[in-house]
Amino acid sequence: MTPADIVVTPTGARFMGRVLPCTVGRGGIVADKREGDGGTPVGVHRIVGMLYRPDRMAAPAGWAVPIRPGDLWCDDPGHPDYNLMVRAPLGASAEALRRADPLYDLVLLTDWNWPDAVPGRGSAIFLHRWRRLGYPTEGCVAFAPEVLRWVAARVTPETRVVVRPA
């Protein structure tokens, strides 16, 4: 591991020499991730993208992609676009990326079960804003908004997210 890796544990994260409070999935950190289990998967994951709401913030990095109305993330294991960003209307289970709340105003995408998704292994492990300290996610890693912006300004597509068990 290097200081450029984001090392996530059940009690927080380390990145660029700083200790950062974060939350993980309601199912805890799991070695055998499954769709809907609420777990954050153990392993080494790469940052493969950055999404942001251009109506709410400036681009956090030159390689960030704006979230548009109608952008979705398919979480239907039976659909050919499982674990991919898609456009509405889809006709399958999907999560809206452009939300009324600020949870996905800034999203770092990991390569968990991507790009060749195994159905049922779990979709989309994002790094995003938390609801509040200690409030678990559905499996993602979440940070305070100002911490997430700090992280986003420093990650590159080579950054690894290293999730370690308790």
What confidence tens digit (pLDDT) does each residue in 97-145 have?
999 999 999 999 999 999 999 998 999 999 999 999 899 999 999 999 9
Average pLDDT, the chain: 95
CA atoms within 13 A on the CB side of 90: 22
Is the pLDDT at 4 greater than 80, yes or no? Answer: yes
User: What is the domain count for the chain?
Assistant: 1
* Whether this model's pTM surpasses 0.75: yes
- 106-130: burial string, b at 16+ Cβ within 10 Å, e else: bbbbbbbbbeebeeebbbbbbbbbb
Q: What is the pLDDT of residue 52?
A: 98
- 120 within some domain: yes
| Domain span holding position 75 | 6-163
- 1 within some domain: no
Is the pLDDT at 157 greater than 90, yes or no? Answer: no
What confidence tens digit (pLDDT) does each residue in 13-36 have?
999 999 999 999 999 999 999 999
At 145, give phi and psi (nearest 5°): -55, -45
Q: Provide the CATH number for the domain around residue 77.
A: 2.40.440
